[in-house]
A and B are shown apart, each in its own frame.
Chain A
């Protein structure tokens, strides 16, 4: 790769369609050579944000900088950015080689040179030998690689992925996402990646931005988001979480005394004051047992998933979703059970 990776910076960027605000005053920076994921439910503005980077949408307000250069008013064709589309968007009337060579061709490079550049990238993604095929003659995974090769061929400053795995079956998804991450690290690329799948986001990202209702809900490393969610929304969206009501009864230093039903807990208060709070409990922080001391409940639902059992337990503080990886023996519906709480998987959240 000839060029050094570039940074991307959004300063107070908004995008409005008439009365609808798709992106509302968003600020962030993608450091050069890192992979940033835009994560959120559908309609949260993550794809619009990605398209703003590409120049497929123009910002209504604010400025966008790529590699230190203001590109806010530049059209997509003038930005040094490539994109891998959700549908791959391979040109159906061109073969694989012509698809990948499209970028250099429209830049006016001679055909031989364009094909040479295309072949290099096809080798990189492991598709050498298939260059004469039509896109429709390739499998989904292969089409995806063609799309990646085509996006890489101009050696863009920034590479964008719009839900690249959503058209692949579950097994392939894991492999392709590992390949994308390898490629990004190997070529030292700046990548922006959109997905609604939190597991995918956790697996590939250097940093994640969680978006909700056109705004940034929280940004940080995958661990920060999972372990220190800033809001109910983030706690619920990243990984499963049981959100229950609790009360802070005493504060001492960084920590607080939290009353959850009959159970007393000692947790970091994270800025919450005395009184009512919410508690986010990860399903794997709950342990089912028979010895008293935890929350008493009854089994309301049970599902066997091979590696684990998933239970819904009715307790005094509400229904709790529990993942049990330990034992193979099933708990009968309606049978009593004790839920033990593991402090590591719990965070205090202020009421909003």
Chain B
């Protein structure tokens, strides 16, 4: 029989590791660069749980029980009665107790008033989980999974159960826990007491739902603004995307390659850069405004600030997403259907109207919903261009960081935004999920799609051509803008902006990165480079679990992993502040929280990319490997990983690029030490240093374009199209 020694000693090794961590490693969160904590070791801030437990923090001592049970279970031979039960009880019990004591006792003692009154006193205090706690709790989780596997879960495969357990724990901790925290804090007053009435009052506030603009000259509630913008952007981007998609697939275009570039743009463009370019064109001192006032005497105005500006910026930003969705749907229509219609003597126009358009309906609805959700989640453009036109995402931001800080208000606004986006997400999943008229079958289809009817073709060109030109102008402006003194005022060519941002000082013999942007640039690259492999690994592992394994609750698991995509970045930012600013998990202000934030916001990209590739790999390859004695981990490594290389590479680069362009969530989480490129640029825009901002932005765009071209080169050209066709909401919120 094949060796099973490994899994037996594995559990024991884990248990011993946990014991060591419990006895030796610092239990609480610690700044390792500050060595002064180590003076009192093994007690003091760097103390181990065992030492601290024996010297007053008695609530740490009960961990000895599950640890002992785990060692006892691990020492039994595999299959011995009671072994699996012991592991399950040790893992589950230890994990549960760890979380309970962590959440019950905070920096100021008992975390809840009822606990304090029950215990009669403020109670002992403790800091957040540190290295020791993290290892011990992780081991408990793995032991629980091993025990469950030995009880026969997931065909007795410890690796699968552990993967499911770890992904659930991570998604629970970094997606559901923060969102839950927002919901919970909404029904509390600022002192932490349960106050649902106050929530209702805030929720129904006039400033959110007011309809004053319909009846008078006053402003409407921010919720209506947001919805109006979302609907306009959804409809507009769908119409534009359809025009482009029809031309790309049915038109007689020779420039199809350039349309492909259009589809790459939203991925590599930081979301507010379009808004910035619009200011430089149409702002009071913009290029166009200046020209108009000089030559035609049209006075400069601030019309771009407000609904028109945000609308144009978002249309520019999200039309490519609609295009990606629709081009997949248009290609998915079997030409035979249209040929059938034509052989039944329908004219081209009748065929288009009665066959093509109805088949596109689900795609159109999908594109609309995506545009709607993207608009709701967008933060950068309304921030830069909004003026007096306020939307939920910016309102949330100012409720947190503005002069009138009101965390309760921020959570209420977050909930409104969350309801909108999750509602749209739900509609998309529940209603549209079942309504894709897939007409592509496994059978070969030798039909040729008919050309567009003349009227439709002219309409498409009429819409698409000016729009494409406009896009070209915008991007040209972004690239050129960094090389002149000040767009709209002074067109003297200069390298000043680049020098200010990216100067390298070699005067004293060595290299010194003296430019003002280097700091944030390196921090961004560092964080993105750390987040990318983790995102790809967790995403692909989840994709593998979803396509290759069966376990109970799989659908909920899938929904949970994709949910993080539907949560707007601003809401994520607020929720992370609420959840991770206090023990037991106190990581705000560190680079770690930025990495975690990126990993879980971008994970669905990895999941989708993994699912797409895995569903093309015959499942019997895995099974052949299993029957030849390879465990699932070995199978994953030797059989699937080599075949998944393109997906791995794609997930890596997308995770990297998206981490570099994100702004909405991280703007809440950055610190002076870990400033990100995007937030630095936003800061420059707010300070009016447009030249510097645009120079920095174009550097980012060029770097990421190079990254995308690199994977295009390695992976081959289908990747981007499939991503879009799969209906992935690209670049949600940024």
Contact = CB atoms under 8 A, between A and B. Distances in A.
Interface of A: 54-56, 58, 73-83, 85-87, 89-93, 102-103, 106-108, 150-151, 154, 160
A89 B629 contact: no
B157 A75 contact: yes
B626 A77 contact: yes
Nearest to B630: A106
Given A75-B156, A89-B621, A80 B626 contact: no
Interface in B625-650: 625-632, 634, 638-639, 642-643
Contacts of A73: 152, 156
Given A55-B155, A58-B155, A92-B643, A106 B638 contact: yes
A75 B155 contact: yes
Contacts of B618: 87, 89
A76 B160 CA distance: 14
Contact of A106 (B156, B628, B643): B628
B630 A85 contact: no
A150 B152 contact: no
B627 A82 contact: yes
Most buried by A among B621, B628, B631: B628
Given A77-B626, A82-B627, 12 more contacts: A54-B627, A55-B626, A55-B627, A75-B155, A79-B627, A85-B624, A87-B620, A89-B618, A102-B630, A106-B630, A107-B3, A107-B629
B699 to A, nearest CB: 38
Sorted nearest first, the 3 A-B pairs with minimum C-beta distance are A103-B628, A89-B620, A89-B624
Contacts of B628: 82, 102-103, 106, 150-151, 154
B635 to A, nearest CB: 8
Judged by DSSP, the binding face of B is helix
B469 interface: no
Nearest to A82: B627
B642 A77 contact: no
A83 B623 CA distance: 9
B625 to A, nearest CB: 7
Contact of B629 (A56, A92, A103): A103
A56 B155 CA distance: 8
A77 B152 contact: no
A89 B621 CA distance: 5
A103 B638 CA distance: 12
Given A55-B155, A75-B155, A83 B625 contact: no
B631 A77 contact: yes
Interface of B: 1-4, 152, 155-157, 618, 620-621, 623-632, 634, 638-639, 642-643
Contacts of A151: 627-628
Nearest to B641: A93
B2 to A, nearest CB: 6
A74 B78 CA distance: 12
Judged by DSSP, the binding face of A is loop
13 contacts: A55-B626, A56-B626, A58-B152, A73-B152, A76-B623, A77-B629, A83-B623, A87-B618, A89-B620, A93-B642, A106-B634, A154-B628, A154-B629
Contacts of A78: 1-2, 4, 629
Nearest to B642: A93
Contacts of B621: 89, 91
Contacts of B627: 54-56, 76-77, 79, 81-83, 151, 160
A92 B642 CA distance: 10
Given A78-B4, A87-B618, A89-B618, A102 B625 contact: yes
Nearest to A162: B620
Contacts of A79: 627
Nearest to A98: B638
A333 B76 CA distance: 80
Contacts of A75: 155-157, 626, 631
B365 to A, nearest CB: 31
A89 B156 CA distance: 23
A316 B628 CA distance: 58
Given A91-B639, A107-B2, A77 B630 contact: yes
B407 to A, nearest CB: 45
A56 B626 CA distance: 8
A92 B620 CA distance: 12
B470 to A, nearest CB: 46
A80 B1 contact: yes
A180 B152 CA distance: 35
B2 A77 contact: yes
Contacts of B639: 91
Nearest to B639: A91
Most buried by A among B157, B621, B627: B627
Contacts of B643: 92-93
Nearest to A78: B2
Given A77-B630, A103-B628, A106-B629, A89 B623 contact: yes
A86 B618 CA distance: 11
Contacts of B631: 75, 77
